[in-house]
A and B are shown apart, each in its own frame.
Chain A
Amino acid sequence: MTAFKGALLCAASALALSIVPALAQPAVTAGNLEKLGNFQQTGTPEMVHVPQTGAKAEAIKKTLAKIKLPRGFKIALYALVPDARHIAVGPQGVVTFVGTRKSKVWSVTDRAKARVADEVKEFAPSIEFKIPNGVCFSKDGFLFIAEQNRVLVFPAAEFFYEGADVAAFQVVKQGELIPPEEESFNHTSRVCRVGPDDKLYITLGQPFNVPAQEKLDLYKRVGIGGMIRMSREGKDREVFAWGVRNSVGMDINPKDKSVWFTDNQVDGMGDDIPPGELNRADKPGMNFGFPYFGGGKTRTTEYKDQTPPADVTFPQVEMVAHAADLGMTFYTGKTFPQKYRGGIFSAQHGSWNRTVPVGARVMFTSLKEDGTADKTEPFAEGWLTENGEYLGRPVDVAQLPDGSILVSDDLAGALYRISYEGR
């Protein structure tokens, strides 16, 4: 225990040391965004670098030795990334960006192509981010960052990220993603994707466990408790899906263009209900049942006397209750066995208030010929110990160009790489 504490302290002080120089710099101002939009320098010098070796890395490697995977797969530490949340792999394969629920976005580079990152540094330090959780790329290399209440775009991010100043523009201005009075710390991690229609899709969690009736009109109109889409320039905004509680994971099936998303379900109804969800939207305007349903077909106490909408779509997959299904990705690689191709990898963060914790693993869902869900099974597990302690909490899954997958973990502060090494 003491040794563990020591390791933790050591890692923390190393981190603190590397952050100190940044504190001495001039304050980041809103004017910087304007300057960056005009390709002007802001005078923001040093970027924070995260050391990649030391006691913390060794402790995580020990944890990874306990992770169970199907035969032939291997998991390894890819990078130490503090508070690592959602992942966006650059389409050129140069760099991977990782969002956080705090104020930083990290760039992760494997310069030696050793399948291990050798550099992790702060992205766009001249911009002040607020909960920059959602990161996603367009095929032509524009990086989108969906914050709590703003969306930014970084053209040629894989090129500009090397310096402190990066080309940056606002897609949705501060305070216009949701009405500012609806801002909350709760359920405010956005995720995004650029769809095959070249539109930007963003999930918007609603801030309550179950919202009050008088909130529903506004939420329906704005798309809170749902998913919105808009042009890459932020125009033609529409509510794409509604009746969602708090989706923190989304991807689009390249085969049939259907939009799939996870949803976190109602708390306080006991350990075993309602189930978590993996949903499929094959057209705009679908209603997924919240707040009338709290997950699956479980009615919420608050709305039990009301008639739910007739056109509710139920989930494709009901996951174990309270496991917190978050980030997901379709597997389009060729290096995993046939079984996994075209299926979905999704992360379960792990329950936060269940009497006996569940989750903290990576799930795999295969699809049927018609594009609906077939079977769901655990793929990588072992971050939850037998006595209920979390050694890590997976957040998101993303695919690298070589067909391996990355898993982020915001408890350990790391990215893991899972590869198939054969029989």
Chain B
Amino acid sequence: MLIRPSPWPVEDGRQGEGHGGVHLHDRLCGDPRPNPPLFAGRELSCALGTWLVFTLLVSQFSPACAAGSIATGRQKALQCQTCHGLDGLSKLPEAPNLGGQPEPYLVKSLNDYRKGVRKNEMMSVVVQQLSDQDVADLAAFYAAIEVTTKPPK
């Protein structure tokens, strides 16, 4: 079931909106700001939750996810640099590279740590101080790092 009420705490101002469901935009981007007009007030039914539809929506929603600010994200990433690098390359054996990671994946990962469904001694501590906006900004910054790779022959 992909679309369902989120266990995530409801942000200020959201409760009065009168929707029973949670906007896909919010689910993907973790961003408390109003939805794009096209989807405003729209409640997505569970029947839509197939992978195909999900995939399509992700691609349609991507521009909306870019609401995070790359410049602000870089500033906030000073808290991430010792493990993940300001270049997005891992600085510790136990930390992954984040440069060029898909933005929705970064948002989901950070939110999973915030919700406690994913746990790690270091990440579970640092996400406590992140807001939805911080998550959006950090994801925007790390996703914007250009990465080229050279696979082994």
The reply to whether B82 and A350 contact each other, CB–CB distance below 8 Å, is yes
Whether a CB of chain B sits under 8 angstroms from the CB of A209 is yes
Instruction: Tell me which residues from 93 to 125 in chain B have a Cβ below 8 Å from any Cβ of chain A.
Output: 93-94, 121-122, 125
One digit per residue, 1 when the CB lies within 8 angstroms of any chain B CB and 0 when it does not, for chain A 319-353 equals: 00000000000000000000000000000001111
The reply to whether B93 and A354 contact each other, CB–CB distance below 8 Å, is no
Whether a CB of chain B sits under 8 angstroms from the CB of A393 is yes
Question: Which residues of B line the A interface, CB within 8 A?
Answer: 78-79, 81-83, 86-87, 91-94, 121-122, 125-126, 128-129
Sampled A-B contacts (21; CB under 8 Å) = A131-B93, A184-B121, A185-B94, A186-B122, A209-B125, A267-B122, A268-B125, A268-B126, A352-B82, A352-B83, A353-B82, A353-B122, A354-B79, A357-B79, A357-B82, A388-B78, A389-B86, A390-B81, A390-B82, A411-B82, A411-B91
The reply to whether B121 and A353 contact each other, CB–CB distance below 8 Å, is no
The reply to whether B125 and A353 contact each other, CB–CB distance below 8 Å, is yes
What's the Cα separation between A187 and B148 when bound, in Å? 32
One digit per residue, 1 when the CB lies within 8 angstroms of any chain B CB and 0 when it does not, for chain A 172-194 equals: 00000000000011100000000
What's the Cα separation between A208 and B121 when bound, in Å? 6
Whether a CB of chain B sits under 8 angstroms from the CB of A45 is no
The residues of A that contact B91 with a CB separation of less than 8 Å are: 411
Given A186-B121, A207-B121, 4 further pairs, Cβ under 8 A: A185-B94, A355-B79, A388-B78, A389-B81
With A353-B125, A390-B82 known as contacts, the answer to whether A102 contacts B94 (CB < 8 A) is: no
How many contacts between A and B, using CB within 8 angstroms? Answer: 51
What's the Cα separation between A207 and B125 when bound, in Å? 14
What's the Cα separation between A351 and B80 when bound, in Å? 10
One digit per residue, 1 when the CB lies within 8 angstroms of any chain B CB and 0 when it does not, for chain A 122-158 equals: 0000000001000000000000000000000000000
The residues of A that contact B87 with a CB separation of less than 8 Å are: 5, 8
Q: On chain A, which size bracket covers the interface?
A: 20 to 34
The residues of B that contact A389 with a CB separation of less than 8 Å are: 78, 81, 86
The residues of A that contact B83 with a CB separation of less than 8 Å are: 352
What's the Cα separation between A209 and B86 when bound, in Å? 24
The residues of B that contact A185 with a CB separation of less than 8 Å are: 93-94
Closest to B81 in A: A390
What's the Cα separation between A184 and B94 when bound, in Å? 10
The reply to whether A353 and B79 contact each other, CB–CB distance below 8 Å, is yes
Candidate in B78, B81, B94, B125 with the most chain A CB atoms within 10 angstroms? B78
Whether a CB of chain B sits under 8 angstroms from the CB of A101 is yes
What's the Cα separation between A388 and B77 when bound, in Å? 10
What's the Cα separation between A185 and B122 when bound, in Å? 11
Q: How close is B129's CB to chain A, nearest CB, in angstroms? A: 8
The residues of B that contact A357 with a CB separation of less than 8 Å are: 78-79, 81-82
The residues of A that contact B86 with a CB separation of less than 8 Å are: 389
The reply to whether B125 and A393 contact each other, CB–CB distance below 8 Å, is no
Q: How close is B6's CB to chain A, nearest CB, in angstroms? A: 24
